[in-house]
Chain A
């Protein structure tokens, strides 16, 4: 089966493409890319019955065509918390967000700390997931931070990275061991940076606003201490360290300095909520703005943007953390942290392009090419021979976020009713063309 995407503005940083071009897909793989007006042999419209206006041709005139986005930090909640999200509903949400590959974090129930859970997730993903799903395995057994999980066996079963996400590896020696041991199979260790003792059960950013709301604060240093520690351990061990959900100015500065020294393999991610809103969103005890790490101040937000612009932060992820409404409609202290982010990620990230923080090319790097490279999957590019995972965005499309209409079961977003510009209109994945309303 053939499919021609014509007239689109193709952006693929992996090949240096940033121009109008046609893409020919054959049997679910990228076959050929060429500039308009000079279609190569295989791209004639009348071949195989493909004509403009028919199913085999997508006219992407006026649209941006890019590799399917890669989100290396999501929570799909299966097994164990299917009432929050399933692999099926999560994958549907990803496709709606232009995301064709996700890495799902292991804090399910049971946690993904052995290869049989990994196999279960992959089996469910193959049966029910309309996007590509790559499990992340636990660093430690039961995410308890005491003994290493069977990382090699999980890696062989299909885990692409390791993390105790949701919790830090508190014991520095254990983190050292994990970074050392991960060199056996060359997968990154993803660190959830939080000094739990210093965070001391806080529920929002510490500062004047936490006093005004009477909520317990978490200082930025609870994150930064662990960022500094893990950078030091990466330098000590030579392991590959990926820093999850960076939220503070201090963290950005630490990572920037470490990258400048160039002594360790370090990468970092942030999420749209850390460059779109501040702790002010918590006012009124808005549990949909409760997230871990917490939303920070204006200076932090600006530093995150700067870190994205200068390459300190490599990746934009969603940290998609769906929760049931019943869990969020309650006392702020008792509501679980997390934002359902897959379906707003592109719209929020496009603001960075509008503001001139990132070019579209940089955006594609941070949302497709870089994350794929970090977890070592053959995605994030539309080179000939690659799977035909494609995201087509209408950068001019204005729309209002409607959480009630999410594909995700989690409607917990602080961005409901926001007006955004820039929307995925077609996501192609696993040989299926998903036209998005």
Chain B
């Protein structure tokens, strides 16, 4: 089995069946990761380049480790020390990396559409590791994998996504993915960060946290980017936490078996209290573990190797 496309640009471009395929394949790789010898030879001889124009710890490490577990050669292309600082364009940089024989280019960039742009210009498989405020598809896939593990399925679940949806590529990819697999999605947060027209995505909008969390199966918290402070999106982190911070008291309005997710990095005391982040409902670290299996599945499925 393999994906129809050579690239993973976004969840928008995927069919529900594609998403299911990734999740099923990831389950197999998760088993591999539980063994003593965690490496398989599936993609031996292939080259993976991490092209990160934005800082990242977990996504880059996760992709690097996933690629290594599949026996590929991995190169981390560090933008600050490259010719990009000499003014090389994105297209030229990517063409040069391809000329070195890269089979996969995993790209993160602050501009939306970057992965789309590279996929159009390159023969290598392009994987979007986050493009501006557009999408972060592997994060959504690993989130769905985590939900499926906890709940057995996606369809019919009530999912609350809380916080800065406007600027969150994680939220966008999750909305698309959850909708495609039949979940109901609500967005909770200040209207400055969840503009009214987002309703057209087929989601419900809430400004009241207590109301929004009522009877949900899943709570996905988003990171409040500290640089948003002072830009008029909300008056202070104190007030933000007071209105939309996730506390154990607030969780009581959700279903009893609710799970709490966060893509990281967390701002404890800003969007989530420590007791919740570290509490029994939290699957935040499982998300990180599952990310590895999901990224292995994505690399594998895009490689065109027959299973």
Contact = CB atoms under 8 A, between A and B. Distances in A.
B226 to A, nearest CB: 19
Contacts of A213: 112-113, 134
Contacts of B109: 331
Interface stretch (B28-36, B153-161, B197-205): B197-205
A113 B135 CA distance: 44
Report which residue of B111, B200, B201 has the largest number of chain A beta carbons within 10 angstroms of its beta carbon. Answer: B111
Interface in A294-334: 326, 329-334
Report which residue of B90, B112, B135, B172 has the largest number of chain A beta carbons within 10 angstroms of its beta carbon. Answer: B112
Nearest to A203: B112
B201 A208 contact: yes
Interface string B116-138: 11000000000000011111000
Nearest to B113: A285
Majority DSSP secondary structure for residues of A touching B: loop
A216 interface: yes
Given A285-B112, A332-B112, A214 B134 contact: yes
B261 to A, nearest CB: 21
B91 interface: yes
Contacts of B186: none
A49 to B, nearest CB: 59
B91 A208 contact: no
Nearest to B173: A214
Contacts of B90: 330-331
A212 interface: yes
B132 A333 contact: yes
A207 interface: yes
Contacts of A214: 112-113, 131-135, 169, 172
A213 B176 CA distance: 12
Contacts of A215: 112-113, 132-134
Report which residue of A206, A213, A332, A334 has the largest number of chain B beta carbons within 10 angstroms of its beta carbon. Answer: A213
B96 interface: no
Contacts of B114: 331
B91 A332 contact: no
Contacts of B134: 213-215
Contact of A285 (B91, B116, B169, B201): B116
B89 interface: yes
B256 interface: no
A326 to B, nearest CB: 8
Contacts of A332: 111-113, 117
Could you say which interface size class chain B belongs to? 20 to 34
B255 interface: no
Interface string B208-242: 00000000000000000000000000000000000
B44 interface: no
B12 interface: yes
A208 B195 CA distance: 10
Interface in A318-354: 326, 329-334
Interface in A82-100: none
A329 B95 CA distance: 14
Nearest to B120: A284
A220 to B, nearest CB: 12
A211 interface: yes
Interface string A197-214: 000000000111001111
Interface string B70-112: 0000000000000000000111000000000000000001111
A212 B116 CA distance: 13
Given A208-B201, A211-B197, A214-B169, A334 B12 contact: no
Nearest to A332: B113
A208 B133 contact: no
Interface of A: 206-208, 211-216, 284-285, 326, 329-334
20 contacts: A207-B197, A211-B172, A211-B197, A211-B201, A212-B12, A213-B112, A214-B132, A214-B134, A216-B133, A285-B113, A285-B116, A329-B91, A330-B89, A330-B91, A331-B90, A332-B112, A332-B113, A332-B117, A333-B112, A333-B113
Given A208-B197, A331-B109, 11 more contacts: A211-B172, A211-B198, A212-B12, A214-B135, A215-B133, A284-B116, A285-B112, A330-B91, A331-B114, A332-B117, A333-B111
Interface of B: 12, 89-91, 109-114, 116-117, 131-135, 169, 172, 197-198, 200-201
